[in-house]
């Protein structure tokens, strides 16, 4: 299913997340999955967990300043942009190039930790949807479609410093 991997043999994004988690003394190192999990369903299937336990990263483009907004929500939920708008202003869709430039990660591996925005760009504004708190254990992407890490919703809040809000349909 998955295995611990030496940090120096995996892609740069996975290494960056590994280092960020280690620096914050996160108790669970990232795992490398045998299969790519580009979607929440693929991750849930690979891990043998409920779809809602996948901490899905959804990136939006804020229209006012072209910055990134990252919402971390349960894999079984959809972000409601109307509920998010009071926190961010008007939003648009983020394409793959925008996501990579603003987070340092490719779609399918966007982690809530270890951002590396392109020169001159700031890291995304983060929000955590409260639906994740339905679960004792959740799984987030670790910088690559094959990388994941285990944590609790409270760990996610502590790790990111992001506010917990209600933004799903």
**Calpha distance 36→2 (Å, rounded):** 11
Residue 71 burial (10 A CB sphere; 0-12, 13-18, 19+): buried
**Calpha distance 52→56 (Å, rounded):** 9
**Calpha distance 26→125 (Å, rounded):** 22
Residue 84: Cβ within 10 Å count: 21
Average pLDDT along the chain, 169 residues, taken 10 residues at a time: 58 94 94 93 96 97 96 97 96 96 95 94 96 98 97 97 96
Predicted pLDDT of residue 5? 47
Dihedrals phi, psi of 8, to nearest 5 degrees = -90, 0
* pTM for the predicted model, two decimal places: 0.92
Q: Which CATH number fits domain 2-165: 3.90.960.10, 3.10.20.310, 3.40.50.1000, 2.60.40.3500?
A: 3.90.960.10
Residue 55 burial (10 A CB sphere; 0-12, 13-18, 19+): buried
DSSP strand E in the chain: where?
Answer: 2-4, 31-33, 54-62, 68-74, 91-93, 125-129, 138-141, 147-151, 164-165
**Calpha distance 45→52 (Å, rounded):** 12
């Amino acid at each position: 299913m998955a295995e611990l991997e030496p940090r120096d043999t995996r892609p740069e994004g996975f290494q960056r997340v590994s280092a960020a988690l280690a620096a914050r003394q996160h108790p669970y190192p990232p795992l490398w999955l045998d299969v790519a999990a580009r979607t929440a369903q693929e991750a849930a299937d690979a891990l043998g967990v409920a779809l809602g336990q996948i901490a899905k990263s959804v990136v939006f483009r804020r229209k006012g300043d072209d910055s990134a907004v990252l919402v971390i929500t349960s894999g079984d939920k959809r972000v409601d942009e109307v509920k998010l708008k009071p926190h961010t202003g008007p939003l648009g869709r983020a394409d793959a190039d925008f996501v990579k430039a603003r987070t340092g990660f490719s779609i399918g591996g966007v982690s809530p930790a270890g951002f590396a925005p392109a020169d001159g760009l700031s890291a995304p504004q983060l929000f955590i949807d409260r639906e994740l708190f339905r679960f004792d254990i959740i799984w987030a992407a670790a910088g690559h479609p094959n990388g994941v890490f285990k944590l609790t919703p409270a760990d996610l809040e502590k790790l990111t410093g992001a506010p917990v809000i209600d933004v799903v349909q």
